[in-house]
A = this chain, B = another copy of it.
């Protein structure tokens, strides 16, 4: 991962050179705070990689990479308010460290700043970049709305769930690569296939996340195993189990999702054993594999040498081999 780490450090240097250290402080300090909270910087790295597939440098894509990372962090700031999340990457969320109003307004200015970074592209490419960026941004908002809607609905179907994760999570992975390819002037076919690669990797990644939340190795999984079950989260696993279960087991699932009085470990064990009974881990793994296969089929169709695609393929494999 020599090159990936070069993308990372180049991006971090660019971020450092573009801090939001300006007046009014109350507005911009929280922006710097969230932007410097860390993370893998996956999305900006994908922008740089998407561009570099077609050129021997990635530096011209740095402003675009920053636009995408600022957007991602904007969505985290506002989502954390909506989810009343106290922590993000182990540190206080913006609305927790400052207040809700600050989280709203600093998030707003971040969203606007994204377009400022898009404007650093050559003028002829700006309409296409803004258009694609906008389509992605709207999907992310719609995905968040669907996710919130699902919390109170008990008729969520698997296709509806897949659309939700496509919008909320996969769209920005897709968009990161597409935007890099648009800036590289790689043509519509390459943009399409590279984007589809990203979307499918994003879907596979989210599927993996659902799986790990229940079946992950507690020592390796960053979050608490069983969190989705305790929160009655309508994941692929739960929806599939509800679909496959007999009447009695459906009632049992319903009971665990509605009862307020339970031992955490008991609930996790009971629901997990229903998941096991209906082999939903296997179904989810197949679904994940199918997204992964789709992704690589699209990557193959991108019209550059396999040599050039290797680092992107390697990164995808690295993202998708967390053990479970």
Neighbour of A142 across the interface among B24, B104, B134, CB < 8 A: B24
Would you call A246 an interface residue if the criterion is a C-beta within 8 Å of the partner chain's C-beta atoms?
no
Does A138 lie within 8 Å of B123, measured CB to CB?
no
CB distance from A73 to the nearest CB of B (A): 13
Tell which of A56-64, A109-117, A273-281, A313-321 binds the partner.
Answer: A109-117
The 6 closest A-B pairs by CB, nearest first: A27-B145, A82-B101, A109-B141, A24-B145, A112-B137, A126-B127
CA distance A118 to B116 in the complex (A): 14
Q: How many copies does the complex hold?
A: 2
Contacts of A109 in B (CB 8 A): 138, 141-142
Chain B residues, CB < 8 A from A137: 112
Smallest CB gap from A123: residue in B: B127
Please name the residue on chain B nearest to A108 by beta carbon: B141
Nearest B-chain residue to A122, judged by Cβ: B127
Contacts of A257 in B (CB 8 A): none
A76 in contact (CB, < 8 A): no
In the bound assembly, the distance between CA atoms of A144 and B196 in angstroms comes to 40
- The yes or no answer to A146 lying at the interface (CB within 8 A) is yes
A-side interface residues toward B, CB under 8 Å? 23-24, 26-27, 78, 81-82, 100-101, 104-105, 107-109, 111-113, 115-116, 118-119, 123, 126-127, 130-131, 134, 137-138, 141-142, 144-146, 148-149
Verify A148–B81 contact, CB threshold 8 A: no
Q: Which residue of B lies closest to A143 (CB)?
A: B24
Q: Could you tell me the distance in whole angstroms from the C-beta of A53 to the nearest C-beta in chain B?
A: 25
28 contacts between A and B (CB under 8 A): A24-B142, A24-B146, A26-B145, A26-B148, A26-B149, A27-B142, A27-B145, A78-B105, A78-B108, A81-B104, A82-B105, A105-B141, A105-B144, A105-B145, A105-B148, A108-B108, A108-B111, A109-B141, A112-B134, A113-B138, A115-B134, A116-B134, A116-B138, A118-B130, A119-B131, A123-B127, A126-B126, A126-B127
Knowing A24-B149, A27-B145, A78-B105, say if A127 contacts B119 (CB, 8 Å). yes
Query: A23 — which chain B residues lie within 8 A by C-beta?
Result: 142
- Least Cβ distance of A111 to chain B in Å? 6
Q: Apart from A105-B148, A119-B134, what 9 extra A-B contacts exist at CB < 8 Å?
A: A24-B142, A24-B149, A27-B142, A82-B101, A82-B104, A104-B104, A108-B111, A109-B141, A116-B138
CB distance from A63 to the nearest CB of B (A): 14
> Chain B residues near A123 (CB, 8 Å)?
127
Complexed CA–CA distance, A82 and B104 (Å): 8
Task: Select which of B100, B130, B141, B146 is within 8 A of A119 by beta carbon.
Answer: B130
